[in-house]
Amino acid sequence: MNKKVFGSIVALVLIGALVAIMIKNAAGDEYSGRQEQLKRELEETGQTQTGAPDEEEVIGIGPGEQAPDFTLKALDGGEMSLSDFRGKKVILNFWASWCGPCRAEMPHMENFYKKEAEELGVEVLAVNLSAAERGDEQKVMENITNFVGEFGMTFPVLLDSDGKQGDVYKAISIPTSYIIDSGGIVRQMVRGPMDEAMMRDLVNSVE
């Protein structure tokens, strides 16, 4: 191989690497931009963003770790376990009825679930942080039911009545979502609201 050909190959490799870095950075900028847009919508409607904790203090379940299994009561009766959905990708979302960012996110999550989830082989599980809800038990259930009805949520809603799973998954800033692959491994953790495009991108990035 002469020096001219070798030099051309090296140049092509360098160009390819630069293009890959630019694409990755652009995707990250687009993702951050969409979250910032949702936050601005919250501010315009007078709703507040829950403060994000210090990442060094609250890590949660990291990418590559097995998602801890759990069994919780479902709002519509019976019980569900995370392991029931093994073989499917899962968006595991932690929320509360008083949370402004959760209100901004839920219409996007419902639209994603109705229009795209089945085709993409993904299930959405919305875990209400019932122990963090406000009021007595009757008021808590009323708030949860009203929230679900307001947004027409058709995906499973589970109740973390004792707060255990919120602690396990470090759902301190809400909404907090985990993107779990079909083998039950956490691939992404998202603090803050998502829209349909963000959900689609995250789900498509895992097997």
Pairing of the two strands 122-128 and 186-191: unpaired
- The packing angle between helices 196-204 and 100-112, to 10°, is 60
Cβ–Cβ under 8 Å, residues 60 and 176: yes
3-state SS, residue 66: strand
pLDDT digits (tens, 9 = 90+) for 140-198: 999 999 999 999 999 999 999 999 999 999 998 999 999 999 999 999 999 999 999 99
- According to the model, what pLDDT value does residue 207 have? 84
What does the domain layout of the chain look like in residue ranges?
A: 71-204
Strands (E), the chain: 71-74, 79-81, 89-95, 122-128, 157-159, 176-180, 186-191
Q: Is the pLDDT of residue 1 over 70?
A: no
3-state secondary structure of 113: helix
Of the pLDDT bands very low, low, confident and very high (cuts 50, 70, 90), residue 38 is low
User: 71-204 maps to which CATH number?
Assistant: 3.40.30.10
12-38 average pLDDT score: 49
Can you list the pairs that 29-33 forms with residues at least 24 positions away whose Cβ atoms lie under 8 Å? 31/198, 31/201
Identity (one letter) of the amino acid at 180?
I
What does pLDDT average to over the chain? Answer: 82
Hey, what are 202's tokens? 């995250």
User: How far is the C-alpha of 31 from the C-alpha of 47, rounded, in Å?
Assistant: 21
In terms of C-beta density within 10 A (0-12 exposed, 13-18 middle, 19 or more buried), how is residue 51 classed?
Answer: exposed
pTM of the model: 0.75
3-state secondary structure of 34: helix
- Reply yes or no on whether the pLDDT at 36 is more than 70: no
Sign (positive/negative) of CA torsion 36, 42, 46, 48?
negative
Residue 113: phi and psi, rounded to 5, are -65, -45
